[in-house]
Chains A and B, each alone.
Chain A
């Protein structure tokens, strides 16, 4: 068989161990091309990204991280993010050296001349993203916030347009960036592969870093929300008391008034035994298998709030003969990105990358049960941070059900099973972050032919909570407006149990309908393992 992929070692996960892009050392052959004709060599040093051999990869869609280096370098403080300190920042217009050095035209070599090279680009330049935007407004049309919020100018403004505006030093980031919920639907909508969420993250990080009053209650509130892990870790010391205290009426009233955390929402309960405690108590992995190893990234929520999801993951994977590793880990960073707390996110990322890369070295792939965790590790990490090994982590990370669908005969196992104990109907909502990973339909497809299971997709709308967005008093109403479509469809659906992969979507689903919400892994455990 002739392989026409980036690597040719015949392994079906081949190519995943290559570093794509960030350091420009990708040595991919152009895909699907066996001849050796040179193509577009003039593009070789364009923006210092893409492949180093200068071969454009026409068939590789321009996923943000393949094209651009990471944008967030924490220790530069307010120094230019735009490149090495000694490289003067290039203005968008004016002051730019001519590509040809302004020499007279007789010296022009038409073959070497390429208009793309006119503007030399700094290391951290998102110009490609801004230039790729042809203003079709697909992002705006897909934005759930713009649909309900008169004050929000939409992703096209927050991304490419704002990027252009702030090329000039005297422009602040517009504070409307804090109304972006980081659902990332715009990424999926853009037909031109503009790295919208990356641009939003950059702008939001800059806004919080440089313009937001660090003593303001909003900052404090956002910092608390973004660092959910910290609160959850403390709360889990005395879980019952925490669950009570956090939902204690007068306390909630005060939180609403002082911090802006909506009193309408119920705080999730803290588990009396965290996932990691359970894991320790059971003596860790029950299956050893050097050939089939996965490292479980449980994230904060499965650990502190819904350990049953983590347990289901372990039991299902052990059922399929996998050795499960549970490396030390911190927050994936998702709530921090959404609140512009990039320094916090980076600190956590360093721990995560260090431990996950070690597991990968032991032959494991990284498995997340939360689609926002997997999204963060896969996309935001390499887009935002330049940490050794971060590309490997990205390329080895999968969502739990996704991985089994790729590597195991899940349909076969489900067909052989007797189904769950009794008939069950679910109203399934695909989280926005699952959608961007191509996972929006996997739960429905996996379970819809299983005897005794009804699985209904409640549509492609956003649940409206988007992590911490719906946890802010000033956004609560809008969050519920966005969610209305999903609530309606859930009510219409046959099933009276909700299902989703995302913990905060689950909160919103429960909040809007009163349904109990399950994770697909729990159903998988019930059907395949039981």
Chain B
């Protein structure tokens, strides 16, 4: 007997979780399987919907011949992306026609965000408006995003209160002074200074960020002083570091830290530090290892549990069987440490990720979808997969499975490949999520539609 469920979701990221919860809320008996621990722990924790509209056509027409390879195409011949966008919804109509947002519609994005708001409660903000918030990220840039963790709320770039950015010498990926300079250069509407303080030095030179977070969670004594007090004391001397345009000194009203202020009790850690400093405290989202990502993962997996979804990690999908008619998937085959176990389902949502998440696989011969071998359109000549400008309009970024508006995957003839499959998230082609700042939104919108569609498939 196979392990059976009505809806089987493959993939434990944002799209998979959204699809699973959407399906479960429609009443379907839902199971989510994921090869590895969720990669949400690598995510910044920001929920972006659409921040930029990259140009898809060069400023002037390309010459004849292979479009890119070895052509040294001048990057300047491409127009800059439009943005940062104030309103992601309003811009959807200007995306390419085969963009996932165009397929599922702006309402799907709106509902996906509403579902997210419902799942995370007051841990996230931004749901009060359609407009993007501008959140400083650890590169010193400002990112347009639809939802942001409560821990980042006091750091919004639209806020004009003077700001201190705190860094630590041992956190090499993060230079507070350079960060502050870059913010100032970006013309943010507030005065800002960066300061490197002694705190993390009490730990080993390459202490894990989780070590620091735990120490703050528990308020562990560091050389005899409780961690939070020690951190506040280290920051204290810099509260007047900000100099305004006239050369006057302001006491800062908010202090930004790298995102390591607690793992299990972040709100408590922030509040405690805020009291001690007499300023609002916020976190600046970072790359991995990302505490905001870990916290989001915890929130969403709790939500899965609450929704009654069954889930497991450690079981990769390694095969499948189609029904006799050949137009539907009968079951998937999961690898359990060497033994192959069939998982039956009436509908399957494939949310395995894109090229980075290994939901798409590539070598020099081609790009393919490895679980169900779904069709991935691509130029036959691999020199047409990319352009020379590393930050340019890269064709490969939009590679992926192409579905219809109900998110059923299409084969090379444009027909629905399997009637009971839905695709969601980065495995869906058509979006350049890194340039558009749309990864979470695409996952939420397509996850929601795929999950509902899968549940409907079961009900029929």
Of residues 316 to 369 in A, which have CB atoms within 8 Å of B's CB atoms?
none
Cβ contact within 8 Å between A4 and B322 = yes
A150 contact from B211, B289, B361, Cβ within 8 A: B211
Shortest Cβ gap from B34 to chain A (Å):
9
Shortest Cβ gap from B300 to chain A (Å):
13
Any chain B CB within 8 A of the CB of A177?
no
Shortest Cβ gap from A255 to chain B (Å):
29
Shortest Cβ gap from B381 to chain A (Å):
14
Cβ contact within 8 Å between B371 and A32 = yes
Question: A157–B36 Cα gap in the complex (Å)?
Answer: 20
A437 contact from B41, B318, B337, B363, Cβ within 8 A: B337
Cβ contact within 8 Å between B322 and A60 = no
| Known contacts A5-B340, A59-B371, A148-B214: A32-B206 contact under CB 8 Å | no
Shortest Cβ gap from B250 to chain A (Å):
36
Provide the B331-342 mask, 1 if CB < 8 A to any CB of A, else 0.
001111111111
Any chain B CB within 8 A of the CB of A137?
yes
Question: A402–B338 Cα gap in the complex (Å)?
Answer: 14
Chain B residues whose C-beta falls within 8 Å of the C-beta of A190 in the assembled complex? 36
Shortest Cβ gap from A365 to chain B (Å):
8
Question: A150–B290 Cα gap in the complex (Å)?
Answer: 19
B3 contact from A31, A147, A405, Cβ within 8 A: A405
Chain B residues whose C-beta falls within 8 Å of the C-beta of A33 in the assembled complex? 373
Shortest Cβ gap from B368 to chain A (Å):
6
Provide the B345-383 mask, 1 if CB < 8 A to any CB of A, else 0.
000000000000110010111101011110000000000
Cβ contact within 8 Å between A61 and B310 = no
Provide the A393-416 mask, 1 if CB < 8 A to any CB of B, else 0.
011111000100111110000000
| Known contacts A14-B340, A16-B338, A391-B338: A1-B321 contact under CB 8 Å | yes
Chain B residues whose C-beta falls within 8 Å of the C-beta of A148 in the assembled complex? 211, 214
Question: A436–B338 Cα gap in the complex (Å)?
Answer: 13
Chain A residues whose C-beta falls within 8 Å of the C-beta of B321 in the assembled complex? 1-5
Chain A residues whose C-beta falls within 8 Å of the C-beta of B275 in the assembled complex? none
Question: A438–B33 Cα gap in the complex (Å)?
Answer: 9
Shortest Cβ gap from B160 to chain A (Å):
35
| Known contacts A141-B208, A438-B336: A457-B305 contact under CB 8 Å | yes
Query: Please, which residue of chain B has its CB at the minimum distance from the CB of A34?
Result: B373
Cβ contact within 8 Å between B313 and A188 = yes
Cβ contact within 8 Å between A151 and B204 = yes
Shortest Cβ gap from B117 to chain A (Å):
24
Shortest Cβ gap from A133 to chain B (Å):
13
| Known contacts A40-B365, A382-B338: A137-B289 contact under CB 8 Å | yes
The count of residues in chain A whose C-beta lies closer than 8 Å to any C-beta of chain B is: 74
Of residues 129 to 155 in A, which have CB atoms within 8 Å of B's CB atoms?
136-138, 140-143, 146-151, 153-154
Question: A56–B333 Cα gap in the complex (Å)?
Answer: 18
Chain B residues whose C-beta falls within 8 Å of the C-beta of A32 in the assembled complex? 319-320, 370-373
Chain B residues whose C-beta falls within 8 Å of the C-beta of A200 in the assembled complex? none
Chain B residues whose C-beta falls within 8 Å of the C-beta of A437 in the assembled complex? 314, 336-337
Chain A residues whose C-beta falls within 8 Å of the C-beta of B289 in the assembled complex? 136-138, 140-141
Cβ contact within 8 Å between A438 and B264 = no
Any chain B CB within 8 A of the CB of A39?
yes
Cβ contact within 8 Å between B294 and A141 = yes
B-contacting 9-mer, from A217-225, A439-447, A468-476: A439-447
Contacts across chains A and B counted by CB atoms under 8 Å: 196
Any chain A CB within 8 A of the CB of B311?
yes
Cβ contact within 8 Å between A140 and B210 = yes
Question: A484–B334 Cα gap in the complex (Å)?
Answer: 34
Cβ contact within 8 Å between B214 and A147 = yes
Provide the B277-304 mask, 1 if CB < 8 A to any CB of A, else 0.
0000000000011100010000001000
Query: Please, which residue of chain A has its CB at the minimum distance from the CB of B207?
Result: A150
A59 contact from B313, B342, B370, Cβ within 8 A: B370
B41 contact from A3, A4, A5, A141, Cβ within 8 A: A141
Question: A114–B36 Cα gap in the complex (Å)?
Answer: 29
B314 contact from A136, A154, A188, Cβ within 8 A: A188
Any chain A CB within 8 A of the CB of B390?
no
Shortest Cβ gap from A195 to chain B (Å):
13
Cβ contact within 8 Å between A16 and B340 = yes
Any chain B CB within 8 A of the CB of A250?
no
Shortest Cβ gap from A483 to chain B (Å):
13
Cβ contact within 8 Å between B338 and A59 = no
Query: Please, which residue of chain A has its CB at the minimum distance from the CB of B333?
Result: A5
Cβ contact within 8 Å between A61 and B1 = no
B2 contact from A12, A397, A442, Cβ within 8 A: A12
Any chain B CB within 8 A of the CB of A268?
no
Question: A20–B294 Cα gap in the complex (Å)?
Answer: 34
Any chain B CB within 8 A of the CB of A58?
yes
Query: Please, which residue of chain A has its CB at the minimum distance from the CB of B290?
Result: A141
Question: A146–B289 Cα gap in the complex (Å)?
Answer: 13
Cβ contact within 8 Å between B358 and A6 = no
Any chain A CB within 8 A of the CB of B42?
yes
Shortest Cβ gap from B41 to chain A (Å):
6
Cβ contact within 8 Å between B318 and A438 = no
Any chain B CB within 8 A of the CB of A179?
no
Question: A396–B42 Cα gap in the complex (Å)?
Answer: 34
Any chain B CB within 8 A of the CB of A263?
no
Question: A459–B201 Cα gap in the complex (Å)?
Answer: 31
Any chain B CB within 8 A of the CB of A178?
no
Cβ contact within 8 Å between A136 and B42 = yes
Any chain A CB within 8 A of the CB of B326?
yes
Any chain A CB within 8 A of the CB of B39?
yes
A396 contact from B35, B39, B339, B364, Cβ within 8 A: B339
Chain B residues whose C-beta falls within 8 Å of the C-beta of A142 in the assembled complex? 37, 41
Shortest Cβ gap from B43 to chain A (Å):
11
Question: A4–B334 Cα gap in the complex (Å)?
Answer: 12
Question: A274–B395 Cα gap in the complex (Å)?
Answer: 65
Any chain A CB within 8 A of the CB of B223?
no
Any chain B CB within 8 A of the CB of A246?
no
Question: A382–B337 Cα gap in the complex (Å)?
Answer: 11
Provide the A63-92 mask, 1 if CB < 8 A to any CB of B, else 0.
101000000000000000000000000000
Query: Please, which residue of chain A has its CB at the minimum distance from the CB of B204?
Result: A150
Cβ contact within 8 Å between A58 and B1 = no
Any chain A CB within 8 A of the CB of B170?
no
Provide the A10-54 mask, 1 if CB < 8 A to any CB of B, else 0.
001111100010000000000111000001100100000000000
B319 contact from A6, A147, A189, A460, Cβ within 8 A: A6
B288 contact from A58, A141, A396, Cβ within 8 A: A141
20 A-B residue pairs with CB within 8 Å:
A13-B341, A15-B340, A31-B319, A31-B320, A32-B370, A32-B371, A58-B368, A59-B318, A61-B358, A65-B338, A137-B288, A141-B294, A147-B214, A153-B204, A188-B37, A189-B36, A190-B36, A378-B338, A379-B337, A435-B313
Closest 3 CB pairs of A and B: A59-B370, A5-B319, A438-B314
Apart from A16-B339, A60-B370, what are 14 other A-B pairs with CB-CB below 8 Å?
Answer: A15-B333, A32-B320, A59-B361, A59-B370, A63-B335, A65-B338, A138-B42, A141-B294, A143-B210, A150-B207, A189-B36, A189-B41, A398-B339, A445-B310
